[in-house]
Structure 1
């Protein structure tokens, strides 16, 4: 099996018409038909159902399409990184992250990696689900998020559980003492990020729902910065990870919760079964040290 077989198959699967696929690939239809047939014979299953008006993917074909896309994306990313390395003589290391983890250990990790002049560090702001896809197609090398994603190709490591705190408008009634979840439920709430789950909003809303509490979500936003701006505007409160306290914002008071066992995970995601190269080993060593500092209280 060669890469061209995968490219031909993906084109045929996307067009579901051999004539259009051949035009897209700038080849004649008969050679394309032969290549698809050879691919099916090698795989040992039918990938398409041939119908009078075109093609239809079989269940095996649908799975093979997903895997073929990932392989081609990985090859494209490898070629791109190889060209970049050749031009700059640097090794590229790409990190995915959700914004709420970028106020604690992650900036220190990036800073220490950047001391190596042979490394080019690239950062991608991605939700955890997007990080998993980016790991599988080679866009990133490691991801940092807060949501568990069950995927056979990705390993997720719990680094530590981080306390949640309430971000409240400065001088709010609930800043007189650590508020309970029941007290918070009586006020409008701003959640982030918006969009399909699983996400941080699901985690925070679940804390109320599991306690039988209803909460009035007044606004859903895409990121923590916007959520804090709305809080400062007296729109309501939001729950944030403890490290966000390091982001000093005028008009906001950060309060610990009455129940100090309410936490959110910090999770590292890596490709499963991949032997770590020298850069990944360095990143893992730095990360282990920073996590231990966090766990032993040497870093807030």
Structure 2
């Protein structure tokens, strides 16, 4: 099977929408024979018939219906991409984009982003959800400027800074026996519970961190069910389907039908910042300075590397080299 190009999809969609080769050719400003030939070439390439040619108007085959659905999505995506590029070309203000994995969304990041917007009102702030590997690629392609994640992926062009080690807790239904006993639960006890892990993909992810916590204590859960999102996991917890290990910060944004219990063993998940090695953008420097100040307000210990970076940033602003 040969690759399908955008022009072939455009020809196919025109015929499918018009239900006529003649009208589609007029719309495309071409004659009918070349259009018919292009569609036949597409069918040969796919090894599938796309139109029932004995009918008037033309009807799509099952293969044609599937291609129409997917091709329409591709073309809408191309149109959106074109609009985005046009907007970028017309934009005069700078842009700073955060990339976040879902498990970091509760770790006070909304507050960080809100205050960052206040100190850089001239900058357009973007926030996008993306997994570990996608963050790495997006940083290199300059589609994002900073990523918040749980997983370190070694790369000489990317710098990782440990922002915080966040304790993990277990979420159970409010009437679950573990919630009613009101005491920290041991990992060995949790192994006997149906456990809900998230996200199921992409990997590596927060789910791998949780599983490694069990393995490091010589344990393996009896029953694991994976879901794509944290919110799905919490809904299942509330329904009594199982228990879900989550970052401690989730308990402050929880549901009324879910209880959060401490885990007896001290297990945690790192909260990491990643950005391009050697990035000297003033917006990044301002964000790091803001983070250090917020850590002081929250009573959190400022990570050594973050404190060192803030000192270097302050020195750069004042014109002194430390």
For the aligned pair, the TM-score class normalised by the smaller chain equals: 0.5 to 0.7
1:45-60 alignment to 2 at 5 Å?
none
> What is residue 280 of structure 1 aligned with on the other side?
284
Q: Give unpaired runs (5+ residues) of structure 2.
A: 3-82, 303-322
Q: 1:149 to 1:292 in 2, by over 3 A?
A: farther
The CA RMSD measured in Å over matched residues stands at 2.8
The alignment's TM-score, normalised by the length of structure 2, stands at 0.63
SS in structure 2 of the partner of residue 206 of structure 1: helix
**CA distance in structure 1 between the aligned counterparts of 2:84 and 2:158, rounded to whole angstroms:** 21
> What is residue 223 of structure 1 aligned with on the other side?
229
Q: 1:214 to 1:131 in 2, by over 3 A?
A: same
> What is residue 262 of structure 1 aligned with on the other side?
267
Larger gyration radius, structure 1 or structure 2: 2
> What is residue 271 of structure 1 aligned with on the other side?
276
1:237-252 alignment to 2 at 5 Å?
237-252=243-258
> What is residue 19 of structure 1 aligned with on the other side?
none
**CA distance in structure 2 between the aligned counterparts of 1:293 and 1:132, rounded to whole angstroms:** 31
- The answer as to whether partners of 1:190 and 1:236 remain within 8 angstroms in 2 is yes
Name which of structure 1's ranges 234-243 and 88-97 shifts more when overlaid on structure 2. 88-97
Matched, 1:133 2:137: yes
Q: 1:100 is matched with which residue: 78, 103, 112?
A: 103
**CA distance in structure 1 between the aligned counterparts of 2:241 and 2:261, rounded to whole angstroms:** 17
1:85-164 alignment to 2 at 5 Å?
87-115=90-118, 116-164=120-168
**CA distance in structure 1 between the aligned counterparts of 2:299 and 2:101, rounded to whole angstroms:** 21
- The answer as to whether partners of 2:104 and 2:271 remain within 8 angstroms in 1 is yes
Q: 1:128 to 1:290 in 2, by over 3 A?
A: farther
SS in structure 1 of the partner of residue 103 of structure 2: helix
> What is residue 41 of structure 1 aligned with on the other side?
none
**CA distance in structure 1 between the aligned counterparts of 2:126 and 2:109, rounded to whole angstroms:** 13
> What is residue 21 of structure 1 aligned with on the other side?
none
Matched, 1:291 2:292: no
> What is residue 174 of structure 1 aligned with on the other side?
178
Q: 1:86 to 1:282 in 2, by over 3 A?
A: farther
CA-CA distance at 1:294 after TM superposition:
4.4
**CA distance in structure 2 between the aligned counterparts of 1:158 and 1:168, rounded to whole angstroms:** 29
CA-CA distance at 1:269 after TM superposition:
0.4
**CA distance in structure 1 between the aligned counterparts of 2:223 and 2:134, rounded to whole angstroms:** 25
